Amino acid sequence: MSAAVNLPPVNKARLKWACRRGMLELDMLFIPFVDEAYDDLTAKNQRIFERLLTEQDPDLFAWFMGHNICEDQELNTMVQFILNRVKV
């Protein structure tokens, strides 16, 4: 049995809405991540991802572009996980 917890469709839709940011670069990271990887995360990592979405766009952009490192270890680990998924 998977440790991931699937959200009901209404909550998944809310999550995808929260992934829509003011920056296209972030949209292009978050929306595919929710579609392709979110359901496979543990419940704890799902909550961490949801917490990541509460951060400000300039901070997120700086973390994902490598200009700054997030000081919150859990969030930084999630940033690195997402970045590793998109590297070819």
What does the pLDDT profile of the chain (88 residues) look like in tens digits?
444 555 555 588 889 999 998 899 999 999 999 999 999 999 999 999 999 999 999 999 999 999 999 999 999 999 999 999 987 4
Question: Nearest-CA neighbor of 78 among 36, 48, 33, 37?
Answer: 48
What is 74-86 written as a DSSP string? Answer: HHHHHHHHHHHHH
Using alpha carbons, select from 9, 14, 86, 87 the residue that is nearest to residue 50.
Answer: 14
Of 40, 66, 38, nearest to 53 (Cα)? Answer: 38
Q: Residue 8 has what pLDDT?
A: 55
Tokens for 81, please give them.
């996980």
Residue ranges of domains in the chain, CATH in brackets = 9-86 (1.10.150.250)
pLDDT at residue 2 in the model = 44
